[in-house]
Structure 1
Amino acid sequence: MVLSASNVGVNAEFAGDVRARFESRLGFRVGGKITARKVDVGSTVRRGQVLMQLDPQDLRLSQEQSMANLRAVETNRDLAKADMKRYQELRVKNFVSQAVIDGKVAAWQAAQASVDAAQAGYRGQANQAGYATLVSDLDGVVTAIEAEVGQVVAPGTPVVRVARVDEKEIVIGIPEDKVDALRKVADVTVRLWASPTAVIQGKIREVSPVADPATRTYAVKVSIPPASPDVRLGMTATVQFSSTTPTPLIAVPLTALHQEKNVTSVWIVENGAVRLTPVQMGGVAGNQILLVAGVNPGETVVTAGVNLLKNGQKVSLLAGEPASDK
């Protein structure tokens, strides 16, 4: 075949699924035993809506203990203040020394500091008691339940997943040899398996910098417009990438490549004989290999039987395939 350079189209399709762009894994800020679950998977929730509840008994007892401690230190403070005032009156009559007054003032200040600490402790314990109720921090839909009634959970353990439904994206896996070629593609379209005739315009939002350890593919997230109709979480979708190379490239069939000692070459036909020429590959376009160096437009290459040829071997061309003459 006679080589020619052109802007080659790069097309690829990958299957993925619809996911929420924002998903929160919610958990209690305190530990305890779950006593109630108010939602199911698929439930629509509003910001501030109750999702789960813990047994509040232990938290309430701790709150009552903090309150009792606060009352005790307030009593000690009032006593220290009254004692200080009595000694101040005696000081006016010169019945006690200034050193005694200084000691009473210090005792009152220490009692006041104890009250401040007890008040802070009580407020913190009151907050802890409020954490026995788990509420949603966003409007969305419940996508998973990770704990059930009767289960004892530690602080921070995720128990409910809530996803926003206003922004969705398609998550696909791309082989490592196509990541760089598809990263800058602007023409991205999405089709749903449930509605293959509807075309949704997409945009690459994120390309994972690390390959998945199991599949060895790179996760790519393609965002779609919020107003896209009939797009539900978990649907199967196909993402198509379409573009052309910025510079003209030469495309040859895979059968034209000759591999020897980790060097890729092609056979160039000149004056009825073949010459092995190393080439540099630049990617794949369909069933053809793109060459970026080693050959020039107008040259003739062998596309069949490349493993049977030797340098300088005479060959005959099929009708309509003129050999290059240099």
Structure 2
Amino acid sequence: MQDLMISQRGVLRWRFLWLSIFCLALLAGGGTWVKLRGGKDATAAQKPVITLEFSPSDIAIAQKRELQQVLPLTGNLQAFNQTLVRAKVAGEIKQTLVREGEAVRREQVLARFDTMDFQSRLNEKIANLEGARAQLSLAEKNLQNSQFLLQQKFISQNAYDSSQSNLLVGQANLKSCQAQVDLARNALNDAVVRAPMDGFVAKRHVQPGEKVSQDMPLFSIVDLSRMELQAPIPASEIGNVKLGQEATIRIEGNSGKAYSGRVERINPAAEAGSRSIMIYIAINNAERTLRGGMFATGLLNLSKTPPVLAIPVSALRSENGRNYVITLEAGKLAKHFVEIGQTAEQDGLVGISSGLAESAQVVTSRMDGLKPGSPAMIKSESGKPAGAETAKG
């Protein structure tokens, strides 16, 4: 009996011990949970507000400006002065002295014909001329004798008139022979082909030994000092194009360099089929870097608009087909839907017809996730906040 009581007391002691340990564990876990919850609440309460920082180059001021109206251009370049040297005489080419790509000067010899036949013809005509002179001299003497004999009444008036007629025929024959000599001499001179202007040989059409006919092409020469862009313009826009308007031209494959041009001519007739009208823009090519046949694009400067509210094109954004801008107002971002007007492509500006106030600070940088109402500021290069006056992009 005594052993049974001792055993029950031991069991009670163990149960009390385990119950105490369980209570202590609950108290410790509850304290930890309260501490963690309290820490999370404190962290949430102390989370800082993030302020977006923009550099002055990311902000532009909406202000009124004159926008330059432009007209896009496309076309091919041609040398302003170019010529096709043709054969003035028929004969055999004995020598060619230039090849494609070579520079030539005015009156420089390009080729020579075989001159044997030309020289023979000239000698023949000179001989005929000398014979005509001799006949004229004889006719003059006969007329003098006839005049003396007529005065002495040894010959009739008809005989005298015949002598006078022979003199006139001799004079005409002399002039004819002189003209034939001049033609033969010119043909001999034309057997030497010379450049009619300064330039470059674009194409040589003949080779030594070839027989050519009169007026056959021999050489193509172009003057590269001045080029011309031939650009078609829609008939609806031709009324805005005027002589003297300036253009900026870029060459395909060399878009990094821009060339200045000026409208010099406007074709009076439309092109068949396209109904466009060709304009001709002169381009200075003193460096000889441009070549005929190059494809070019450009912008023709038309008239300027009256002052309109304008912002950089990079500030425009789109949402569901509507244009809007992000502005910085009172330290926060704001969103404004706008209606756009004309665009000045060469200046990178677009006109705003409604939806934006003058002097508004618009964000031009293409940053994602810009939400209206977010705190924002302009930060100067020194790292300090900058005033609105420093953000005139």
Same fold (TM over 0.5): yes
Q: Which of residues 104, 114, 124 is equivalent to 1:45? A: 104
> What is the SS of the residue equivalent to 1:232?
coil
- Indicate whether 1:233 and 2:313 are aligned: no
**1:138-157 equivalences in 2 (<5 Å):** 138-157=197-216
Consecutive unaligned residues of structure 1, counting only runs of 5 or more, are 1-6, 249-255, 257-284, 287-296, 299-326
- Aligned residues: CA RMSD: 3.9
SS in 1 for 2:107: coil
Question: Which residue in 1 is equivalent to 2:6?
Answer: none
Distance 2:263 2:135 in 1: 66
Paired residue for 2:224?
Answer: 165
How far apart in 2 are the matches of 1:40 and 1:214?
Answer: 38
From 115, 125, 129, give the equivalent of 1:70.
Answer: 129
Change (3 A) 1:111 1:247: same
Q: Return the TM-score normalized by structure 1.
A: 0.63
CA distance in 2, matches of 1:90, 1:243: 89
CA change 1:185–1:46 in 2 (3 A) is closer
Larger radius of gyration: 2
Give the one of 182, 185, 188 matched to 2:247. Answer: 188
Structure 2 counterpart SS, 1:137: coil
Q: Is the 8 A contact 2:225 2:284 kept in 1?
A: no
Which residue, out of 81, 98, 104, partners 1:22?
81
Unaligned stretches of 5+ residues in structure 2 = 1-65, 308-320, 322-341, 344-352, 355-393
Say if 1:82 and 1:172 are closer, same or farther in 2 by CA, change over 3 A: same
Residue 121 (structure 1) aligned with residue 208 (structure 2)? no
Counterparts in 2 of 1:178 and 1:34: CA distance versus 1, 3 Å: farther
Q: 1 CA distance for matches of 2:120 and 2:72?
A: 60
Q: Distance in 2 between matches of 1:163 and 1:109?
A: 51
Alpha-carbon separation, structure 2, partners of 1:159 and 1:176: 39
The separation in 2 between residues aligned to 1:192 and 1:17, in whole angstroms, is: 9
Q: Aligned to 1:106, which of 165, 176, 189?
A: 165
SS at match of 2:224: coil
Structure 1's 84 and 240: CA in aligned 2 closer, same or farther, altered over 3 A? same
Structure with the bigger percentage of helix: 2
Distance in 2 (alpha carbons) for counterparts of 1:13 and 1:177: 14
Mapping 1:292-303, distance limit 5 Å: none
User: CA offset at residue 110 of structure 1?
Assistant: 1.7
SS in 2 for 1:167: strand
Whether the aligned pair in 2 keeps the contact of 1:144 and 1:160 (CA below 8 Å) is yes
The 8 Å contact of residues 210 and 218 in structure 1, kept in 2 or not, is answered as: yes
- Offset of 1:146 from its aligned partner? 2.7
% identity of equivalent residues: 22
